[in-house]
Amino acid sequence: MDLSKLHAQLPHTLQGTDFPTLGTRYQGKVRDVYAKGDRLVLVATDRLSAFDRILTTLPFKGEILNRLANFWFEKTKDVVPNHVLEVPDPSVTVARACEPIRVEMVVRGYLTGSLWRDYLKGQHGVYGVPIPDGMKKDQAFPSPILTPATKAEVGEHDEPISAEGLVARGLTSRRDWERMSEAALALFQAGQAWAKSRGLLLVDTKYEFGKVGDTLYVIDEIHTPDSSRYWVAGEYAGRFGQGSDQRMLDKENLRQWLIKERGFMGEGESPTIPDDVRVDLASKYVAAYETITGAPLALEVGPVASRIERNLKAAGLL
């Protein structure tokens, strides 16, 4: 990836949008969502969050996430129905409005990340999922496990919780939990198989679901570097054997930088993210996209909001 193009895009990153005629606006960590009737317009901005805090922007991030999510939605549409109706711009998805289930379905194939940190502190029992003693960092589970979390508002922390806790608190019904579990594990299996064919390991990810009537749909995004962890498959065994960190193509690069370089894990004042760190992470997102899809990513330097506005007008949405 030509890093000069990523540097050139830094002044043009999309922090937010304002398209009132699209509908009622809700701002998530990454997406600006406009609701009108049975339709949502989801604009993937370039905002970057970590530890549930919006910290900065990345060049081309929204476009990369939206393109990759829709690659995966198309690839897995026969596994689980999704909410996509059309994609009028590289950063925009028009979707059916679903009643969201306020649960993040986190599927993990390896003991790493926040679960490893909880494991070291003996706090992993909160999920109600047995994890054997004596496991090592980055070790694969015998089969993927589900470690759900509540879906928090922007600025709040997602809360780890067990399936029993979700049902007891009325966040989902037992039947919907079972349906979401089956869907999440099936999507993860499909994602791991494709990633492996592309020389990557899909390590863990999160899914969100919603309903229209009684029909369950996967919503938001799937298998992006924001919502998922990817490792380079060919280096896994050697690095694991040496106890070395894995080579990552995802947002965990930033989390580790924040922990090691700034001592930040979501509490206190948010640190400033240097431009070289932003560009480096953006280059990893580009690499993830191109490795997963097998296609080059043609990116054009320039204002994102004006391009989106042009394309929404051309689609008759503005």
Q: Are residues 171 and 190 in the same domain?
A: yes
**Which residue is it, tokens 């009737």?**
37
Q: Which residue has the tokens 């999920």?
A: 127
Regarding whether 104 and 85 lie in a shared domain, the answer is no
Q: Per the domain annotation, does 184 fall within a domain?
A: yes
77 and 40 co-located in one domain:
yes
**CATH code at position 146:** 3.30.470.20
Q: Give residue 157's pLDDT.
A: 64
Query: Is the residue at 37 inside a domain?
Result: yes
In a domain, 274, yes or no: no
Are 11 and 115 in the same domain? Answer: no
Q: Residue 251: is it exposed, middle or buried by C-beta count within 10 angstroms (0-12/13-18/19+)?
A: buried
In a domain, 191, yes or no: yes
Q: Is residue 198 part of a domain?
A: yes
Q: Which of 194, 227, 242 is the last residue of a domain?
A: 242
State the CATH number of the domain containing residue 28: 3.30.200.20
Could you list the residue range(s) of the whole structural domain that residue 162 is in? 100-242
Q: Return the bridge partners of 232, or none.
A: 200
Same domain membership, residue 57 and residue 22: yes
On whether both 93 and 118 belong to a single domain, the answer is: no
Q: Say whether both 88 and 116 belong to one domain.
A: no
Structurally, the chain folds into a number of domains equal to 2
Same domain as 114, residue 71: no
SS (H, E, C) the chain: CCHHHHHHHHHHCCCCCCCHHHCEEEECCCEEEEEECCEEEEEECCEEEECCEEEEECCCHHHHHHHHHHHHHHHCCCCCCECEEEEEECCEEEEECCEECCEEEEEEEEECHHHHHHHHHCCHHHHCCCCCCCCCCCEEEEEEEECCEECCCCCCCCCECCHHHHHHCCCCCHHHHHHHHHHHHHHHHHHHHHHHHCCEEEEEEEEEEEEECCEEEEECCCCCCCCEEEEEHHHHHHHHHHCCCCCECCCHHHHHHHHHHHCCCCCCCCCCCCHHHHHHHHHHHHHHHHHHHCCCCCCCCCCHHHHHHHHHHHCCCC
**Is residue 290 domain-resident?**
yes
Measure the CA–CA gap between 101 and 179, rounded to whole angstroms.
12
Structure confidence at residue 221 (pLDDT):
96
131, part of any domain: yes
- pLDDT at position 284, please? 95
Final residue of a structural domain among 242, 272, 294:
242
Do 148 and 33 share a structural domain?
A: no
pLDDT in single tens digits along all 318 residues of the chain: 679 999 999 999 999 999 999 999 999 999 999 999 999 999 999 999 999 899 999 999 999 999 999 999 999 999 999 999 999 999 999 999 999 999 999 999 999 998 999 999 988 888 989 898 999 999 999 999 999 999 866 656 678 899 999 999 999 999 999 999 999 999 999 999 999 999 999 999 999 999 999 999 999 999 999 999 999 999 999 999 999 999 999 999 999 999 999 999 999 999 999 999 999 999 999 999 999 999 999 999 999 999 999 999 999 999
d(CA 233, CA 136): 18
C-alpha distances in Å from residue 92, one per residue of 12, 17, 55, 71, 206: 17, 11, 22, 13, 20
Sign of CA dihedral 155, 157, 163, 164: negative
Q: Clarify whether residues 62 and 16 are in a common domain.
A: yes
69 within domain boundaries: yes
Whether 301 and 169 share a structural domain:
no
Asked if 298 and 232 sit in the same domain, the reply is no
